[in-house]
Amino acid sequence: MITRRLFCGCLAAALPFASTAVHAQSSECAVFTPERQKATAPDEAIARLRAGNERFMTGKPVNCDLIAQVKQTASNQSPFAAIVGCIDSRVPPELVFDQRIGDVFCARVAGNCVNTDIIGSLEYSTRVAGARAIVVLGHNFCGAIKSAVDDVKLGNITALLKNFRPALATLKPSDGHRDSHNVALVQKVAEANARLTAASLPKRSRIIRALVDAGEVKIAAAMHDITTGQVTWL
């Protein structure tokens, strides 16, 4: 009886280890080197994020040894993509795209808008650190977008909400009453914001424009559905 109990205990302990070991050997767990980053085409970088969201959606994230990745990236990082996302607690880019240590740069701000600091960060991510894609990731039911729709005035939020004026300007009378309870209208503004923010990057940054024109970097806009976990590309 004791022997059997011990055996069962050992087996139970060994299984998770075996599972982790298998994933640790997965190519998904290999940290990005400068060579691997350079060999990743911009379209491939987007494809990696698509595949990662598919794993997230289907409950099959890759299980890697994160401390091993910490050690492997301690002296150098070569992330393959940069993501501009919202601060919303339900939209963490690394989880939504099933990425790990050293894989992606992330800039997060309410409503995934950009300013000089974030554009500078994206210039660093791409021109200096070699990332091959920039993704502006919006999401539905975004509090920042709702606040912009309602024209909220509160502290520094008032200034933040000015970033969404171009997206609000896409609204037409046929979109209905401008009110955050108008779900379709809020979604339209959120999508317009992600799309317009992505489109603004080459216009606001000569560095990013040059990289895009040379085919070195691809810019994409996407929306995350907080009710399903799915990312839809715009």
**x/- string (CB under 5 A) for Zn ion, residues 147-186?**
----------------------------------------
Which range of residues in 83-91, 94-102, 178-186, 221-229 is near Zn ion by CB under 5 A?
A: 83-91
Instruction: Give Cβ neighbours of residue 64 (< 8 Å, ≥ 6 apart).
Output: 23, 24, 26, 28, 29, 100
With vertex at residue 70, the alpha carbon angle to CA 60 and CA 47, rounded to the nearest 5 degrees, is 40
Which range of residues in 58-66, 77-85, 115-123, 136-144 is near Zn ion by CB under 5 A?
A: 136-144
Which range of residues in 17-25, 72-80, 82-90, 202-210 is near Zn ion by CB under 5 A?
A: 82-90
Q: Which is nearer to Zn ion, 88 or 103 (CB)?
A: 88
**Least separation, in Å, of the C-beta of 21 and Zn ion?**
38
CA distances from 175 to 120, 139, 150, 169 (A): 35, 19, 15, 12
Residues 5 and 3: their CA atoms lie apart, in Å, by 5
Question: Counting contacts by CB under 5 A, is residue 86 touching Zn ion?
Answer: yes
**Least separation, in Å, of the C-beta of 127 and Zn ion?**
28
Place of tokens 């070699």: 130
Question: Counting contacts by CB under 5 A, is residue 133 touching Zn ion?
Answer: no
Question: Counting contacts by CB under 5 A, is residue 190 touching Zn ion?
Answer: no
Contact with Zn ion (CB under 5 A) among 29, 82, 142, 194: 142
Place of tokens 């890759």: 62
Which range of residues in 9-17, 81-89, 100-108, 149-157 is near Zn ion by CB under 5 A?
A: 81-89
Helix axes 206-213, 183-204, angle to 10 degrees: 90
Residues 138 and 189: their CA atoms lie apart, in Å, by 10
**Least separation, in Å, of the C-beta of 108 and Zn ion?**
9
Question: Counting contacts by CB under 5 A, is residue 194 touching Zn ion?
Answer: no
Instruction: Give Cβ neighbours of residue 162 (< 8 Å, ≥ 6 apart).
Output: none
Q: Which is nearer to Zn ion, 124 or 141 (CB)?
A: 141
Residues 20 and 18: their CA atoms lie apart, in Å, by 6
Question: Counting contacts by CB under 5 A, is residue 88 touching Zn ion?
Answer: yes
What residues make contact with Zn ion under the rule CB under 5 A? 86, 88, 142
